[in-house]
Amino acid sequence: MSRIAYVNGRYLPHALAGVHVEDRGFQFADGVYEVIAVQGGRFVDEGHHLNRLDRSLTEIRMAWPMSRRSMRLVMREVIRRNRIFRRGIIYIQVTRGAAPRNFAFPASVESSLVMTARTLPPLDPAAMREGVSVIIVPDRRWPRRDIKSVSLLPNVLAKQQAVDHKAFEAWQVDDDGVITEGTSSNAWIVTAEGELVTRRADTAILSGVTRRMIMAICAEHGVTFAEKGFTVDQAKSAREAFLTSTTALVTPVVHIDGDSIGGGEIGPITERLLAFYLDHMLKPQDQYL
């Protein structure tokens, strides 16, 4: 079955879907986005993702393209038309709309909304536990990384650098030598002293929804953690390391720049948090937070 995309009120074959050549997302990266997981036909942490979308839109002074209720209805129709009954993702992008090219905001232009969806392979916890490699790169992004902007060129270049080095992800480092986050994930370590650490969510990183849910899971199950920075040296000497994201869930990091972490195997805290998160994904959720 061919995929179906939603573009500004129309459901179109994926291959024929498009926006105007002067859409500001295309010309200026003047837009924001969200990616939401689908598991068992249900959206995972839908309310938290829509709350973050609302925050991103507010920060860049952009209007919602429709009401939140209407957006939820369109999201479900996109999933239905793409027959995503088991596992998949939906991509939501909002831009400031199409207008004659000018850096300043256009007057009286409606925001543009695009949604696409695709199926993902079934969850394979055994494969996830094998772990991945990451490399360290300088963080070259703009200062407002807390906004989920479609301006992702530095992320693209860093991710390709990871691919060139046969790594899964690149962890970015600020000018003080402190790790910020991955190109599409948040970074965590268990220090040599046994402390679970992830960087505080300020303007230097995107506050990942999966990151937030892991924090909630930690609080629920009595796993202590700290929100603070950690250096490359601390990461390379860590007992454990892992990354979190909507699509990668909780993935152990077993090599950093080729250096083995935790003996090259998933650690006990990562193992425990992965199990808790898989349970969270598979149980019914409040879709309307």
Q: Which residues, 6+ apart, have CB-to-CB distance to 191 below 8 Å?
A: 197, 230, 234, 237, 238, 239
**Cα–Cα distance measured from residue 3 to residue 78, given in angstroms and rounded to the nearest whole number:** 9
Q: What angle do CA 169, 49, 89 make, to 5 degrees?
A: 60
Q: Any idea what the Cα angle at residue 151 is, between residues 166 and 30, rounded to 5°?
A: 160
Tokens at 57, concatenated: 């839109």
Tokens representing residue 270 in the block: 């990562």
**Cβ–Cβ under 8 Å, residues 239 and 245:** no
Whether residue 159 lies in the annotated active site: no
Whether the CB-CB separation of 76 and 97 falls below 8 Å is answered with no
Kindly list the distances between the CA atom of residue 75 and the CA atoms of 4, 68, 148, 213, in Å, as whole numbers in the listed order: 12, 10, 19, 22
Q: Residues with catalytic annotation? A: 148
